[in-house]
């Protein structure tokens, strides 16, 4: 575990560039179960397991780029295509003995909780981004899904490998609600998570398209804005549906999808006041 920040920002990128990434306990268990059915498992089933876990998604994309053949000119931008390239048999052969993150953070229960909250946010954001991409008739919604799932990759890695530092950042923001996230990150890590995330995408040689979709500075691009808005909504709503930033989120989402605020709220399962609608009664 890293207890002190690297003196240079590049130190984080170099460390995470080669770190042995863990996965969620549930993911490892599901892969072990599917391994026993390897002869009948298809890429869609396997990718659905991987895409529930940002850490496992990182592992697969990093693997495919590290094993890229010289004659391969097309970027692999989705997990299902990556599995087609790897092959089901070779996947199960090469993805063994995966560290379990719950075991890695056994001595850091607060950090484990922080990690699981970020992963939950990432899943929600990816789901919303996928839904909006479909509404926008995006050419490849899977690319949007992957980029959104990895938008919080740097924060996830900090909880995994620098839990004490990640807790410091959280405590600073809890003590000072007005402090910007980037300021707290720079003070503790000596690098912002946005800079680290883009740096890692380049270090891992992720496809340029995925790197672009993860970069909020490119938000003039509607596909990037889709990723950014879904990530923002997941982060703000995690604070409660009364978070002060949510009205601006609804306005921006409506502009992206060309729908009014009331329709945005309905699609999110909210009433006109932004409160969650009660679940429908069970069918008789």
- Give the pLDDT mean for 121-131: 97
Is 256 domain-assigned? no
Residues 199-211 pLDDT 10s: 999 898 888 888 8
The pLDDT value given to residue 69: 64
CB of 251 within 8 A of CB of 261? yes
| Residue 122 scores a pLDDT above 80 | yes
Is 66 domain-assigned? yes
| Cβ within 8 Å of residue 57, ≥6 positions away | 50, 51, 79, 146, 149, 150
| Residue 229 scores a pLDDT above 60 | yes
**What is d(CA 284, CA 205) in angstroms, rounded to the nearest whole number?**
53
Is 272 domain-assigned? no
| Residue 185 scores a pLDDT above 70 | yes
Q: Is 259 helix (H, G, I), strand (E, B) or coil?
A: coil
Question: How many Cα atoms within 13 Å fall on the side-chain side of residue 88?
Answer: 15
Is 44 domain-assigned? yes
- Give the pLDDT mean for 206-220: 88
CB of 227 within 8 A of CB of 214? yes
- Give the pLDDT mean for 106-125: 97
CB of 164 within 8 A of CB of 109? no
| Residue 232 scores a pLDDT above 70 | yes
Q: What percent of the chain has pLDDT over 90?
A: 79
Is 207 domain-assigned? no
pTM, full prediction: 0.93
**What is d(CA 219, CA 217) in angstroms, rounded to the nearest whole number?**
6
Question: Which two structure tokens, joined as six digits, stand for 54?
Answer: 């940002």
Residue range(s) defining the domain that contains residue 30: 11-101
Q: What percent of the chain has pLDDT over 70?
A: 98
Alpha carbon 243 to its chain centroid, in Å, reads 22
The pLDDT value given to residue 216: 86
Query: In which band, very low, low, confident or very high, does the pLDDT at 284 lie, cut at 50, 70 and 90?
Result: confident
Kindly state the DSSP code that residue 258 receives in the 8-state scheme: T
Kindly state the DSSP code that residue 4 receives in the 8-state scheme: S
| Cβ within 8 Å of residue 92, ≥6 positions away | 31, 34, 35, 38
- Give the pLDDT mean for 17-26: 94
Q: How many domains does the chain have?
A: 1
Residues 38-88 pLDDT 10s: 889 999 999 999 999 999 999 999 998 888 765 555 778 889 999 999 999
Residues 162-183 pLDDT 10s: 999 999 999 999 999 888 999 9
Is 76 domain-assigned? yes
CB of 226 within 8 A of CB of 216? no
| Residue 198 scores a pLDDT above 70 | yes
The pLDDT value given to residue 75: 75
The pLDDT value given to residue 70: 54
């Amino acid at each position: 575990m890293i207890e002190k920040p690297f003196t240079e920002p590049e130190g984080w990128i170099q460390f995470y560039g080669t770190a042995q990434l863990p996965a969620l306990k549930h993911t490892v268990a599901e892969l072990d179960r599917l391994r026993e059915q390897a002869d009948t498992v298809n890429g869609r089933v396997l990718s659905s397991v991987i895409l529930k876990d940002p850490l496992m998604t990182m592992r697969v994309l990093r693997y495919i780029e590290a094993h890229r053949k010289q004659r391969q000119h097309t970027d692999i931008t989705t997990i299902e295509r990556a599995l087609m390239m790897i092959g089901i048999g070779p996947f199960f052969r090469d993805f063994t003995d995966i560290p379990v993150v719950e075991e890695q953070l056994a001595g850091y229960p607060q950090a484990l909780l922080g990690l699981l909250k970020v992963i939950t946010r990432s899943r929600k954001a990816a789901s919303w981004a996928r839904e909006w991409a479909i509404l926008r008739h995006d050419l490849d919604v899977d690319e949007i899904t992957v980029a959104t799932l990895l938008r919080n990759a740097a924060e996830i890695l900090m909880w995994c490998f620098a839990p004490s530092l990640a807790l410091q950042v959280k405590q600073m923001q809890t003590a000072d609600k007005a402090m910007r996230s980037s300021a707290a990150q720079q003070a503790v890590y000596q690098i912002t998570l946005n800079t680290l995330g883009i740096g890692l995408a380049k270090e891992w040689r992720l496809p340029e398209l995925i790197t672009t979709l993860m970069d909020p500075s490119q938000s003039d691009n509607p596909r990037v804005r889709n990723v950014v808005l879904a990530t923002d909504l997941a982060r703000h709503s995690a604070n409660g549906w009364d978070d002060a930033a949510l009205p601006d989120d609804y306005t921006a989402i409506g502009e992206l999808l060309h729908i009014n605020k009331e329709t945005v709220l309905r699609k999110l399962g909210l009433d006109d006041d932004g409160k969650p609608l009660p679940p429908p009664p069970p069918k008789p």
